[in-house]
Structure 1
Amino acid sequence: MIKDCLFCRSAISECIFNSIKGDVVMLSEICDIVKGKQINGEYLSESGEYYVMNGGTEPSGYYSEYNVKANTISISEGGNSCGYVQFNNFPFWSGGHCYSLQNIADIVDNLYLYHYLKSKEEAIMKLRIGSGLPNIQKKDLAMFKTIVPLFEQQITISTFLSSLERKAEIEERILNVMQKQKLYLLQQMFI
């Protein structure tokens, strides 16, 4: 079910964004692309208030401060997953291998931009250079072309795609609870 939801979201996104009409602008024309600040690993903990995003798809650890506010798009700058697009619902620390998109223009809905970039994640990943530790140059990301339709249309698209994303998240939570329940019941059978 979860894979079906994610596949459905991906297919619908592709269909929407391949047929959308609007102004074609470079990413740097509608937001600031800000590279994060590196934190020495010895200052990270396994739990804490603010997660640290670097070049991966999961947090590198946790830190006592944040340098990027909630509801911000981040794009992995370096490593094997460079180009990974993420929407951060909470404040976080953007590390040295992470870009955050800030000061998004008033004509652009933040969630629309996230869904658009997420649907173009493969193209963003192709911007990488290097082989040992691949990375995406800020200048290349700045020139990434983005389609910006009317604001009302952006809201409609982002609301719809966000609901599909939430459906997948809910299904995953249900699955996790059911697996825990199954484990508990199996343990009770053999007491």
Structure 2
Amino acid sequence: MIKDCLFCRSAIIEKHYRQAEKQTVCIADLGEHFSVGNLAKDDLSETGTPCILYGELFTTYGETISQIESRTNKTGGMVLSKKGDLLFPSSTTVDAVSLIAPSVINIDNVVLGGDMFGIHINSNFDAQYLSYFFNHIAKRRLAKYAKGSTIIHLHYADIEKAKLLLPCLKEQHRMAKCLVSLDNKINVETLSLNLLNNQKTYLLRHMFI
């Protein structure tokens, strides 16, 4: 069921995009670009300020960041998030397509660090929608701007002039609301499935005692 929901989500995004009226904008039009500070795994701690390492954009978070998993005591000279920022990983060893995986962060004052860059999305665009758009619609087209072989890099300067076709703000809002509701449903179902699997494991273990 969860796989079906994920497939359904992608289908919804693609169908809406095909049918929507679109306008041409450049990535530079989306908002103000910013860089982040240096942060490594060794800087993580049990307590401290919530933080995001760039690698977590691949391993921990999806299109939306609503809960922070890591903390750090390193705050001097660090860059803090603003709600609605779009965060892009800047390097990977996998492939260029997997590098086009930005997340929108819905929390203020989170320490951002490592090999990533961000965009403070302005009020003419819906940051939540843009996260889905980049991850599902523009992924392969923007991958051509990445550079490298063993380690693949993507910098803001590489993509700032890239042109996008985007629905109007009203349609972005409408679609983002629909997709967030679907993601919440998927998260609830995933949690329920994990609880049932744990219960199943527990019961099977005690059948043979």
Shift of 1:96: 2.9
The residue number in structure 2 matching 1:108 is: 125
Distance 1:48 1:185 in 2: 39
The residue number in structure 2 matching 1:123 is: 141
Shift of 1:12: 1.6
Q: Aligned partner of 1:62: which letter?
A: R
The residue number in structure 2 matching 1:162 is: 180
Distance 1:99 1:151 in 2: 24
Distance 1:61 1:131 in 2: 30
User: Aligned pairs, how many?
Assistant: 190
The residue number in structure 2 matching 1:5 is: 5
Q: 2:86 matched to 1:73?
A: yes
Structure 2 length-normalised TM:
0.78
The residue number in structure 1 matching 2:193 is: 175
Q: 2:119 matched to 1:88?
A: no
Distance 1:112 1:182 in 2: 38
CA RMSD of aligned residues (A): 2.5
Structure 1 length-normalised TM:
0.84
The residue number in structure 2 matching 1:39 is: 39
Q: Aligned partner of 2:189: which letter?
A: E
Q: Aligned partner of 1:14: which letter?
A: E
Q: 2:188 matched to 1:188?
A: no
Task: Say which SS state the counterpart of residue 175 (structure 1) adopts.
Answer: helix
Residues 104 and 127, structure 2, Cα contact 8 Å, conserved in 1? no
Percent identical among aligned pairs is 26
Out of 64, 67, 71, the position equivalent to 1:62 is: 71
Residues 21 and 147, structure 1, Cα contact 8 Å, conserved in 2? no
Name structure 1 gaps, 5 residues minimum. Answer: none
Shift of 1:159: 1.1
Distance 1:146 1:159 in 2: 21
Distance 1:136 1:79 in 2: 9
Residues 39 and 53, structure 2, Cα contact 8 Å, conserved in 1? no
The residue number in structure 2 matching 1:25 is: 25
Change (3 A) 1:22 1:36: same
The residue number in structure 1 matching 2:64 is: none
Shift of 1:47: 7.0
Q: Aligned partner of 1:57: which letter?
A: F
Distance 1:114 1:106 in 2: 15
Shift of 1:49: 4.9
